[in-house]
Amino acid sequence: MSKKVLLNEEDIPKQWYNILPDLPKPLPPPIDPSTREPIDPRKLEAIFPKTLIQQEISQDRWIPIPEEVRDVYRIWRPTPLYRAIRLEKALKTPARIYYKYEGVSPPGSHKPNTAVAQAYFNLKEGIEVLTTETGAGQWGSALAFATNLFNMRARIYMVKISYEQKPYRKIMMETWGAEVIPSPSNRTEAGRKILERDPSNPGSLGIAISEAIEDALKHDGVKYSLGSVLNHVLIHQTVQGLEAKKQLESIDEYPDIVAGCVGGGSSFSGLFWPFYYDIVSGKALKKIRFIATEPTACPTMTKGVYTYDFGDTAKLTPLLPMYTLGSDFIPAPIHAGGLRYHGDAPTLCLLLKEGIIEPKAYDQVSVFEAATLFAKTEGIIPAPEPSHTIKFVIEEALRAREKNEEKVILFNLCGHGYFDLKAYQEFFDGGLKPYHYPEEMIKESIQKLVKEYPWIKDIPYIKS
């Protein structure tokens, strides 16, 4: 029995998979709040390069990966697929657990799979500077890493609470030459407005997105880059699932369950889309369950409302059809910074609504218990985000033991936790609280949105 399954550099995929032509229903379009109609893609050119906009709306199932991007992928791809033999033994489970480990990338997560592609396509269109937001610091590190390799620059608005909790992430970004700004900041109108009302605002991804977009809109030669949610980002992440399929095939395995965590949905989608394709193309060897995990502190999928909402706090983005907690959501300062976003990818939300994905929410105390067991058995200290999935996997493996079932479970360990040790320390000291976001606050926030934009409830595309 092998501990890990490796591929060669030639096995790095040559095409990304795009789920759009294979969705069970057409994806409801993003809406331009100024016209109340589907957005004209040309309007997006103010912040994104043309190639990425084309990918965003493309109905092509396969999108070629440029050689220059594959060449950078070679630094860490193909990533290993591990069998969690020691965790299985500790749980005395007949389940076979596999994890695709994306923590081997230089920034330590799956995020560079898209950062490298986005930097490359921007450079091809003459862009020299990219702005972005970062929560946990993983996405910012990935974009700093990618822009540096293509001799570009990055300006990164980092959620203030993470900026303070994670000084080493900031230094990592600076090592790759990026400028890191704690958000809310005085650099932008959006940031200044928030600081006037609340000078000690801890920041949120929604606020940082507003700042990064405003920065790109106001400066020439500068575009904005998003680390999750949008179709083109999720497309770039499918290298994970395409490799994992090949790896499992090489050892005659096929998953009963594919699981991942969801902040905006890019790591999970990157893993499960290629298996979803097996189903729609009639090639699946089993009936697969797709499980998406999230924190009870930010329960977008389990408690959110399916409606059109803005992607950011200052309402600069188009309206997106998604499960949302309300775009003015200020999350509790939990340590899974990458999962503290008020909405999710529209494709993921559609599949959730259609019952193709099952959501599960866990509180951070039970998540860190699971993460610690994983670290003690498998050795790798996981990032708090995928530890939500580890919690699910452990529960499922114990269920398999009760029922004596040989389940095959695949999940993505989409990042390591070596910059998250303060969170582990708080867990060991008993300082972490099992926070649950109150449902009244979701209701309040959505009511506010509908009051301000009463026509949102009449947008035809998501009426079922």
Residues found near ligand PLP in the complex (CB under 6 A): 109, 135-136, 138-139, 228, 261-267, 338-339, 383, 385-386, 414-415
Q: For ligand PLP, which is the closer residue by CB, 243 or 385?
A: 385
Q: Give the C-alpha separation, 10 to 23, whole Å.
A: 30
Among 157, 145, 151, 126, residue whose Cα is nearest residue 49: 126
Q: For ligand PLP, which is the closer residue by CB, 88 or 264?
A: 264
> Which own/partner contact pairs does 47-52 have at CB distance under 8 Å and 24+ positions apart?
47/213, 47/216, 47/217, 47/223, 47/224, 48/223, 48/224, 49/121, 49/122, 49/124, 49/125, 49/127, 49/223, 50/125, 51/121, 51/124, 51/125, 52/118, 52/121, 52/122, 52/232
Q: Give the C-alpha separation, 446 to 386, whole Å.
A: 28
Q: Give the C-alpha separation, 379 to 217, whole Å.
A: 45
Number of helices and strands (H, E) in the chain?
Answer: 18, 17
What is the three-class DSSP state of 433? coil
Q: For ligand PLP, which is the closer residue by CB, 202 or 264?
A: 264
Q: For ligand PLP, which is the closer residue by CB, 109 or 445?
A: 109
Q: For ligand PLP, which is the closer residue by CB, 383 or 409?
A: 383
Q: Give the C-alpha separation, 300 to 450, whole Å.
A: 18
Give the CA dihedral 122, 117, 339, 376, nearest 10 degrees. -150
Q: What angle do CA 372, 378, 379 make, to 5 degrees?
A: 75
- Report the nearest approach of ligand PLP to the CB of residue 390 (Å): 12
Q: For ligand PLP, which is the closer residue by CB, 362 or 407?
A: 362
- Report the nearest approach of ligand PLP to the CB of residue 103 (Å): 8
What is the three-class DSSP state of 119? helix
Q: For ligand PLP, which is the closer residue by CB, 142 or 222?
A: 142
Q: Give the C-alpha separation, 424 to 417, whole Å.
A: 9
- Report the nearest approach of ligand PLP to the CB of residue 100 (Å): 12
Burial pattern 396-416, b for ≥16 Cβ within 10 A else e, equals bbeebbeeeeebbbbbbbbbb
- Report the nearest approach of ligand PLP to the CB of residue 136 (Å): 5
Both structure tokens of 48: 């994104």
- Report the nearest approach of ligand PLP to the CB of residue 172 (Å): 13
- Report the nearest approach of ligand PLP to the CB of residue 329 (Å): 16
- Report the nearest approach of ligand PLP to the CB of residue 241 (Å): 13
- Report the nearest approach of ligand PLP to the CB of residue 463 (Å): 27
Q: What residue type is 248 in one-letter code?
A: L
Both structure tokens of 309: 């909402």
- Report the nearest approach of ligand PLP to the CB of residue 193 (Å): 25
Q: For ligand PLP, which is the closer residue by CB, 210 or 237?
A: 237
Q: Give the C-alpha separation, 286 to 242, whole Å.
A: 17
Q: For ligand PLP, which is the closer residue by CB, 93 or 118?
A: 118
